[in-house]
Amino acid sequence: MTMRDDRGVDVRLPVSPRRVVSLAPSLTEVVFLLGRQDLLVGVTRYCNFPPTAASLPKIGGVSDPDVERVVSLAPDLVLCTTDGNPREKVRALEETGIPCFAVAPQDLSSVFATIERVGALLEAAERGRAEAAALRRRADRARSAGKGDGSPGPRVLFAVSTSPIIAAGSGTFMDEIVRLAGGRNMAAGYSGRYPRLSVEDLVAARPDVVFVAGMAGVERFPEEVRRWKEIPAFRDGDVHTLDGDVVTRPGPRLVAALEQVSAVLGAWRASHRESPGPGPGGSR
């Protein structure tokens, strides 16, 4: 079988794979979703979902996979990503004759497509299509739940770090999720993917809802930020923590994140339809 991967490389598999190594937590999740986890002989030390994935043999990290260890596992397919795994490491693996299939999902729909393609690679094409279709349906439902009555949705800050304040800007999955759920990402106007913001930037933008991508140590904003009651989200306590792994991994659980965000924004809409907030606010 031959399939073109996201690098544009035609990956040729002489036989259908029996020993697979995953170099990314998102791909490990995809393999489990497809029910093909019995093929996995190696994963990264960050692969912690589903929980049983953590007990599989480790081949190092995402940015520092141990090439020798991968080779020693004698895989007949390596699943990797273009924006996490170093190109040289993947090339080194390919030079030993191991086929490497690289994915580069940029948005939700390409995540779904990735599930279908990995399914086809692992002799689970049917299952892949079914799972992708189910996820698409859930995403559509969450999206229409988030879409309100046409009024502009809440202004949203999606923080990946609280000290310093670093927001998810345009080009991130978090930005897409906020948009699909009917919110307006206040950091979308910055040029970088992860702009660093000052407290004053928040006071100027006045986010109505704040999400924090919960990773070690970033869950809480310091008191000197929270005490700014000019920021509606802090005034009303509309600050929500989401699992950082779920919102940053281009895997199937992105849909769960979309559902959570959509539910929060839907609740915000419901409460603000009854009692319109204190004036239009906005940056002055």
Partner 1 sequence: MAGEPPGIARPGSRGLAVTRHTGGNGSGAAFLALSGTLLAAVALSISTGSVTIPLRKIADALLHGGDDTPARILLSLRLPRALLGVLVGGALASSGVAFQALLRNPLADPYILGVSGGAAVGALTVALFLAAGASPALPLFAFIGAALAALSVFLLARRKSGVSPERLILMGVVVGAFLNAVIMLMVTLSPPGKIPGALYWLMGDLGLGTPRRVGVLLPYVALGVAVLFLLSRGMDLLLLGDHAAFQTGLSVERVKTATYLTASLLAGSVVAVSGLIGFVGLIVPHGARALVGSGHRRLLPAAFLLGGAFLVISDTIARSASPAGELPVGAVTALAGAPFFLYLLRRNGGRS
> Site residues (CB under 8 A) for partner 1?
46, 161-164, 166-167, 187, 190-192, 195-201, 203-205, 215-218, 220, 222, 224, 230, 244, 283-284
Nearer to partner 1, 18 or 196 (CB): 196
The answer to whether 93 and 100 have CB atoms below 8 angstroms apart is yes
Min separation Cβ 282 and partner 1, Å: 11
Min separation Cβ 31 and partner 1, Å: 21
| Closest of 100, 27, 15, 112 to residue 62, by C-alpha | 27
Nearer to partner 1, 41 or 257 (CB): 257
Min separation Cβ 218 and partner 1, Å: 6
Min separation Cβ 56 and partner 1, Å: 18
Min separation Cβ 55 and partner 1, Å: 18
Min separation Cβ 115 and partner 1, Å: 25
Nearer to partner 1, 200 or 274 (CB): 200
Nearer to partner 1, 12 or 284 (CB): 284
Nearer to partner 1, 145 or 204 (CB): 204
Nearer to partner 1, 46 or 101 (CB): 46
